[in-house]
């Protein structure tokens, strides 16, 4: 089975592609723009295109040579792909692209064969049949260290919520470092290994404050995989990466869905011939 991932949010497409190919008889590829991957999140079978218009055209052209198309974030691709090709097309949303904004996408995605969301809160108001696909974490790169940093040491990445992060740290009597510069993804494990806590709070492009409870972004999940305690905006503390976020589990769950979709299309083709 040949699979094309169009776009990638926080490196999710590459992690899915890598573990899918490792564990199943698949060939997966990813296409993104160069500008979108400044910190090196996408490191597996990735085609990088300089301009957004050329990315769109190249993505549509490449799709011809694949059995299944897995679109991330950009719902605009769905009607074009379904017009051009008789093959399964999946739409995968990753957060604020649909958070409180499903109406903007419903017309585009009505012909998608499956609809996924990356965070469980986005199931609210989603179309019938939408599934939650947990964010996979690179558990080889992000693994617990053999020593324990100072017990009150905490870090967060600056996502327009520095005041809120500091207030959360103060509540738990933590000494917080706010990382404002862009860090290459390869260096993040070494950085996280210096801390005991990660404050998982950020604002999206609409100014909404994320996350709470057991819902975490990619950095928060990576911190859990490293053995850090992760603190949310509701002041709750979580420790230990849930099994559903292990990349092999995400890949295995997705492969079953891929197989079902391919079987459905083969059956339909046979019935029409």
- Domain count along the chain: 2
Q: How sure is the predictor about 206, in pLDDT bands with cuts at 50, 70 and 90?
A: confident
Residue 16 lies in a domain: yes
**What's the domain range around 209?**
153-244
Query: pLDDT class for 11, splitting at 50, 70, 90?
Result: very high
Q: Is residue 148 part of a domain?
A: no
Q: What's the CA dihedral at 42, 46, 49, 55 to 10 degrees?
A: -100
Q: Are residues 236 and 250 in the same domain?
A: no
Q: Confidence band (pLDDT; 50, 70, 90) for 80?
A: very high
Residues 98 and 162 occupy one common structural domain: no
Which pLDDT belongs to residue 118? 96
Please report, for the domain that includes residue 27, its CATH number: 3.40.50.2000
Q: Are residues 250 and 240 in the same domain?
A: no
Same domain (yes/no): 163, 110: no
Confidence category of residue 72, pLDDT binned at 50, 70, 90: very high
- What is the C-alpha to C-alpha distance for residues 196 and 123, in angstroms, rounded to an integer? 32
DSSP string for residues in 120-176? GGGGTTPPTT-EE-PPP--TTTS---SS---TTEEEEE-SS-HHHHHHHHHHTT-EE
Domain-located, residue 141: no
Residue 145 lies in a domain: no
Q: Go through the chain and tell me how many residues it has.
A: 273
Q: For 126-138, write each residue's pLDDT tens digit.
A: 999 999 999 999 9
* CA angle at 259 for the pair 120 and 263, rounded to the nearest 5°: 125
Q: What is the mean pLDDT of residues 65-71?
A: 98
In which band, very low, low, confident or very high, does the pLDDT at 27 lie, cut at 50, 70 and 90?
Answer: very high
Same structural domain for residues 132 and 61? yes
Of residues 269 and 2, which shows the higher confidence score?
2
Considering the domain architecture, whether residues 173 and 89 belong to the same structural domain is answered as no
The residue-averaged pLDDT of 223-244 equals 97
Answer yes or no: do 167 and 257 share one domain: no
* Structure confidence by residue, pLDDT tens digits, 138-180: 999 999 988 888 899 999 999 999 999 999 999 999 999 999 9
Residues 29 and 118 in one domain: yes
Average pLDDT over residues 10-31: 97
Q: Could you tell me the pTM of the whole model?
A: 0.94
Mean pLDDT over the full length of the chain: 95
Under the banding of pLDDT at 50, 70 and 90, the label for residue 4 is very high
Q: What is the mean pLDDT of residues 60-83?
A: 98
What DSSP letter does each residue of 72-116 carry, written as one string?
ES-TTHHHHHHHH-SS-EEEEE-STTTTT-GGGTHHHHTT-SEEE
7, 132: one domain: yes
pLDDT at residue 14 above 80? Answer: yes
Average pLDDT (254-272) is 88
> Same domain for 253 and 169?
no
What is the pLDDT at residue 39? 83
Please check whether residues 31 and 121 belong to one and the same domain. Answer: yes
pLDDT at 273 (0 to 100):
60
Helix (H, G, I), strand (E, B) or coil at 194: coil
pLDDT at 268: 77
Helix (H, G, I), strand (E, B) or coil at 190: helix
Q: What is the mean pLDDT of residues 74-86?
A: 97
The verdict on residue 143 lying in a domain is: no
The answer to whether residue 252 is domain-embedded is: yes
| CB-CB contact of 73 with 98 (8 Å) | no
Q: Are residues 72 and 196 in the same domain?
A: no
Confirm whether 71 is domain-assigned. yes
Residue 239 domain-assigned (yes or no): yes
């Amino acid at each position: 089975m040949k699979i094309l991932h169009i776009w990638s949010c926080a490196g999710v497409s590459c992690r899915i592609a890598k573990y899918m190919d490792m564990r199943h008889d698949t060939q997966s590829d990813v296409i993104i723009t160069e500008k979108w991957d400044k910190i090196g999140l996408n490191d597996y079978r990735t085609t990088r295109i300089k301009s957004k218009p050329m990315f769109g055209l190249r993505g549509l052209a490449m799709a011809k040579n694949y059995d299944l198309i897995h679109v991330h974030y950009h719902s605009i691709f769905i009607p074009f792909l379904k017009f051009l090709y008789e093959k399964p097309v999946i739409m995968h949303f990753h957060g604020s692209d649909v958070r409180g904004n499903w109406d903007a996408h419903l017309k585009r995605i009505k012909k998608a064969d499956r609809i996924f969301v990356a965070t469980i809160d986005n199931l609210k108001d989603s179309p019938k049949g939408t599934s939650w696909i947990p964010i996979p974490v690179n558990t080889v790169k992000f693994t617990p260290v053999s020593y324990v940093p100072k017990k009150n040491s905490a870090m967060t990445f600056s996502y327009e919520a520095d005041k809120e992060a500091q207030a959360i740290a103060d509540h738990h009597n933590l000494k917080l470092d706010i990382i404002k510069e862009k860090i290459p993804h390869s260096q993040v494990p070494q950085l996280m290994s210096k801390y005991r806590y990660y404050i998982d709070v950020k604002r999206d492009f609409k100014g909404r404050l994320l996350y709470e409870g057991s819902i975490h972004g990619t950095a928060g999940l990576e911190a859990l995989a490293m053995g850090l305690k992760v603190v949310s905006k509701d002041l709750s503390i979580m420790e230990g990466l849930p099994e559903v976020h292990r990349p092999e589990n995400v890949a295995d769950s997705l492969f079953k869905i891929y197989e079902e979709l391919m079987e459905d299309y083969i059956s339909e083709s046979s019935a029409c011939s």
